[in-house]
Structure 1
Amino acid sequence: MNGRELIERHLELWNAKDQAGWSALFTDDATLAGPGGLRGSGPEIVTTFYRLWQESFPDNRCRTLRIVDGGTSGVLEAVFEGTHTETLHAPGGDLTPTGRRVSVPFVNVCEFAGDRMRDFVLYFDQVDLLTQLGIVAATV
């Protein structure tokens, strides 16, 4: 499986809500990092990341905008869309459900080890997410 195929499979399993399949795409010592201080390695951080988003936005879907396959690494540009109906257990503290729908662009940079992900770094605008949730006031 090349990098593009791995990223596409990753998104397919995410959107299918297949935690076991999604998690199996990571090496046992995979590292994950994201905004707000989410960092770690191994199966526990993979499960934590998955649950953080899938449980707090159960109707979420990720829509691909662009995939760049660099061989041993790749980049995904996409949009996360979902409704915040359950508590978001973020690294900085819990956010109670707002019932608001969000559409948040993000970029994911990955390194591959064969047909699995070894390093997974997520970038998105936290202020944009918090504004869409109504937690931060929108400014002009």
Structure 2
Amino acid sequence: MTNENVAAVRNAYAVAERKDLEGWIDLFTPDGVFTDNSVGITYRGRELADPVGNYSTAFSNMHRELSRIYADGNVVVVQLALQGTHDGPLRLPFGELRATGKQMDAPCCDVFELEDGKIKRFDCYPEGSIIFAQLGVLANLEAALTH
């Protein structure tokens, strides 16, 4: 089952790269959840596509560079880098970050729990402080946000 779970996770990244939001939702169990731990928000149901859509809008060339994959039964852990050019608005819980035109190449760790080949739980741990530093907004965060 471990190889099938790794294949399912690799497919999930491919679906996200294609910006296939309906396909992304279909990868989850009916009670599946996606938690973006950088902002502390959990998505369910149709909202599962929100983070993929948000980052696809903010980074039109969004890429997830996978570096290491660890699997143990129904759990798959992936070390990766989130890469892209910030050329669109990025919605955040505290406002919208206007496009900066800067490059992002930030570390991330994703933890997937699978059930019968579907994602039951997806915990995403993007390194938000590095993303903000690379986008040049840490020095003047208030000016970078629209309210």
Q: TM-score, normalised by structure 2?
A: 0.86
- Which position in structure 2 is the counterpart of 1:95? 97
- Which position in structure 2 is the counterpart of 1:41? 44
- Which position in structure 2 is the counterpart of 1:81? 83
4+ long deviations beyond 3 Å: none
SS at match of 1:9: helix
- Which position in structure 2 is the counterpart of 1:17? 19
Structure 1 window deviating more from structure 2 (72-81 vs 8-17): it is 8-17
Distance 1:67 1:118 in 2: 18
Kept after mapping to 1: 8 A contact 2:76/2:112: yes
Can you give the 5+ residue segments of structure 1 that lack an aligned partner in the other structure?
none
Can you give the 5+ residue segments of structure 2 that lack an aligned partner in the other structure?
140-147
- Which position in structure 1 is the counterpart of 2:144? none
Kept after mapping to 1: 8 A contact 2:19/2:52: no
In the alignment, structure 1 residue 50 sits paired with structure 2 residue 52 = yes
Q: Identical aligned pairs, as a percentage? A: 26
Q: CA RMSD of the aligned region, Å?
A: 1.4
The counterpart of 1:130, out of the listed 101, 110, 132, is 132
Per-residue deviation, 1:14: 1.6
- Which position in structure 1 is the counterpart of 2:142? none
The alignment covers a number of residue pairs equal to 136
Kept after mapping to 2: 8 A contact 1:30/1:43: no
